Every structure is written in C-alpha cells, then in structure tokens.
Amino acid sequence: MRGICFGVRVLTRREEFRLIVFGFLTFIGWSRVFAAPQELLKNPQSSQASSEMQREAANSTPLNVLIDEARKNDPAIHAAESAAMAATFGASQMSTLPDPQFTLQQFSVGSPRPFAGYTNSDFAYIGLGVSQQFPYPGKLKLRGAVADRDTETAKAHLEVVLQDEIETLKTTYFHLAYLQQTLGILQQNAALLQQIEQQAGAHYATGEGNQRDVLKAQLERTKILREISMHHELAGEDQAGLKRILRRAQDSPDIVPGVLSATFLRYTASELLDKARGQNPNVHEDAAMVQRSQMAAELAQKEFRPDFELSYMYQNTDRKYRDYYMLSFSVNFPRRKPRRAALAQAQVNVERKEQEEDAQLQAVLAEVQKQYVIVKTSEEQLLIYRDGLIPQAQAAIQAGLAAYQSNRADFESLFSSYIDVLNLDLEYQQTLLAHETALAHIERLAGVTLP
C-alpha cells in the first residue's frame, strides 16, 4: 500500500480521483453486471414512452436555430439596438458650435412710436445684426469625445443585453430538455412500478404477500403522477419564457428541445480567466464608462477657460445721414468656485467607475472559477453515474425482479432497488442539467462559444 501511495503522489488530485474510479469499476467487473436479463424491464408502456421520446427528438428544434431567431426577434435586443443607434447621433450635436443669433433692431427718437425720428434724427435707425458664441478651443472636441464614449457604452450595453438574453435562452432550453428527458424516465419507471405492483398483487392473492406491499406500490405510482404533473407545469413556464425571447405568440405550438447530452470542456481554468478579462461584455461596458468619466473630467478642467462671443450690427438711418456699423467681441469669465466643485465631482466619478470596473472584473473571475469547478466536478459525477451507479442499480433491480418472482426475495428489497434506479436516473439528469447550465454561464462570462 505504501508503494502504491508513492506511485500516485506525482499525480494531480483530479487524476488521482479518475484513477481510483477507473480501478473501482474495473475491479467489480461490468461484464457480469450487464449479463442480467434485460427483458425483465421491458413492457409495452415503457416501449411506448421510448417511442414518444424518439418522435419528439426527431421533431426538435436545434438550439442554434433558436439563437438566430432570438437575435432577429427579441424585443429586449431590439430596444438595446435602438438605444445604441440613438447614441451615435450625440457626438455631432455636442461638438457643433452653438446656434448663431440674428437680431432685427429699430431705434426711435422723440416718441415711442415705431420709426419716430427716422427722417429727422441721425440717432434713429433700423438695425440688422448677427452674433455667434465660440467656446474655448478644445471644449467642443472634448464634448464630442464624451458623447462618443456614451456611444461606446451604449454599444457595450447592447452586447450585455444580447448575451444575457442568449444565456437565458440556453438555460431555459436546457431545463426544458431536462424536463422532457426526466418525464420519459418517470413514465418508464411508472411502467416498471406497475409491473412490480402486479407481482405484489399476485403474491397477495396467493397468500405469499401482504396488502401493505400493494398499497405501497400504488402510493409510489401516485407520487410519480404528481411529479409528472409538476413537470408539465414547469415545462409550461419554460415554454412561456422561450416564446417571450423569440417573440412568438404564447398560444403558438410548443418548442421541442433536442436531447440534452454532456459537452466536455476543453479549456483550462487559466484560459477561461484570461478570456473573461478580455471578452466579458460587462467588463467592456464598465471600461467604456471609465473612459467616459475620464473624458468628462478633462472637460471639467477645460471649463475653467472662458468662452467668447462675436457680434456684428448694421444700423441703417435716413439717406441724408450716414449709417452705423458695430462690431462687438465679448468674453465671459467663469466663476471658479462652481468649476472647482464640478472638477472634483468628475475626478471622484473617475475613481468610482474604476472601482466599479475592478469589482465587476473580480466578480466575473470568481464566477468563472465557480462555474469551472461545477463543470469539472459534474463531469466526474456523470462518469460515475453512467459507468457505475446506474448500471449497478439496473442490475440490482433486474436480479430483484427475478428473485421476487420466484419468492427468493422480499418486497422491501425489490422496492428499495426500484427507488435506487429512479433516484439515480433523476440525479444523473440533474447533474447533466447543472453541467450544461454551467457551460452556458461560462460562455456568457468568458465570451467563448463551446462546441
């Protein structure tokens, strides 16, 4: 034993675990486990359930088809696209000079009546003028840059909404496929339980069993009917969620998912973390917000500079007098106290956005690591269920049925074997759902597409 421990010490913990599982499965000898007669579990109802599942699988809609449909029809995505499109028109507004101002002026002399004194006074006139404000050089450019950052933020938010909706679509689709597969398991186990109930009834009729065994089997069948009803309820909720994303009518035909199968992850944790740093849409959105706040701080610094105004006025008098021409140049001097407060606020906003970006990044990296652990752990569990627990439980129920039919085993042993088969089948599907859901989360977090 010491020599064995020394031999595996160089392996990683995951490799040790897989090596132990492989050795355990080899030790018990699966060839003898599968030698039990499969016909004991066959009956018309289970065959009918299998046929229905195969028929549904043939009419299923692939996930990638639904994703393409969601990209085209999802109202939430359309709203985010419109917001991003609207943001593109902001830069041209903010980087353009203020509107020019045109002035028509009439100056009367000796009376408030219009044009009074126009013909007998050289002070009376009709004036036509124009004025234009000019922000300090660089202000318009910075205002346009802030608006550009708003556009980038809106585009980044569009990607966030898009990936959120696709992730919701995937997880709902997987859950619907899980319900479909577990429904088939429940139906098959209900048929198996009916066979057990019939055998218990036959034993009771011949005096070899008791009524409690029959009632217990009937109770379990009723529980399965309850589970089937709950599955229908959950499936209806999933259908409503999928049709909302796809913008289909709620009374349209139900969506049939494909078969849920395991997709093994080919990335390492370090690779996923690196991709999350560079490709996560939430991090991109926060980075755009940081750049926007930095530009706003530069603009606040620029607001200490004065703005200018240039105006020109032509004043027409009666022809016997000379006309007037007036050129004006104005400068406004900003009050420094409100400008200092605005600058301090902008600088604090930069720090806040940088802290929010770092917090978002750390949360994303932690979630990637968490989902990676879930995926790898569930992969190991799936292998144990598929190659160990489920075949063992099936062999036990087969042997139990044969022994119970020949009065070599009691009902409790047979019923316990049945419960093991049912629970392990359902646990396998739950683990499979957790595995695929975690992969969907990883795709969303790391910005990758898994096969």
CA within 13 Å, CB half, 13: 2
- Write down the pLDDT at residue 383: 94
What digits encode the pLDDT tens for the residues 64-79?
A: 999 999 999 999 999 9
Kindly tell me if the per-residue pLDDT of 207 is higher than 80. no
The arithmetic mean of pLDDT across residues 248-258, rounded, is 93
Any idea where the domains of the chain sit in the sequence? 12-98+156-305+360-446
The arithmetic mean of pLDDT across residues 130-136, rounded, is 95
Give DSSP secondary structure letters for 348-414. HHHHHHHHHHHHHHHHHHHHHHHHHHHHHHHHHHHHHIIIIIHHHHHHHHHHHHHHHHTTSS-HHHH
Kindly tell me if the per-residue pLDDT of 8 is higher than 70. no
What digits encode the pLDDT tens for the residues 354-370?
A: 999 999 999 999 999 99
Kindly tell me if the per-residue pLDDT of 41 is higher than 60. no
- Write down the pLDDT at residue 348: 96
Q: Which of 19-28, 143-152, 442-451 has the lowest mean pLDDT?
A: 19-28
- Write down the pLDDT at residue 121: 83
What digits encode the pLDDT tens for the residues 286-306?
A: 999 999 999 999 999 999 999
Site of tokens 């035909």: 253
Kindly tell me if the per-residue pLDDT of 220 is higher than 50. yes
Q: What is the enclosing helix (H) or strand (E) of 107?
A: strand 101-107
Kindly tell me if the per-residue pLDDT of 40 is higher than 70. no
Per-residue tokens: 218:
């009937």
What digits encode the pLDDT tens for the residues 375-419?
A: 999 999 999 999 999 999 988 888 888 887 777 778 788 788 888
The arithmetic mean of pLDDT across residues 320-326, rounded, is 88
More confident residue, 37 or 107: 107
- Write down the pLDDT at residue 73: 94
Kindly tell me if the per-residue pLDDT of 55 is higher than 70. no
Please give the single-letter amino acid code of residue 344.
A
- End-to-end CA gap in the chain: 42
- Write down the pLDDT at residue 144: 94
Per-residue tokens: 347:
């600088």
The per-residue pLDDT of the chain, averaged, comes to 84
Query: Which CA distances in Å does 70 have to 106, 279, 352?
Result: 64, 21, 35
Alpha-carbon span 183 to 189, nearest angstrom: 10
What CATH class is the domain 12-98+156-305+360-446? mainly alpha
Q: What percent of the chain has pLDDT over 90?
A: 60
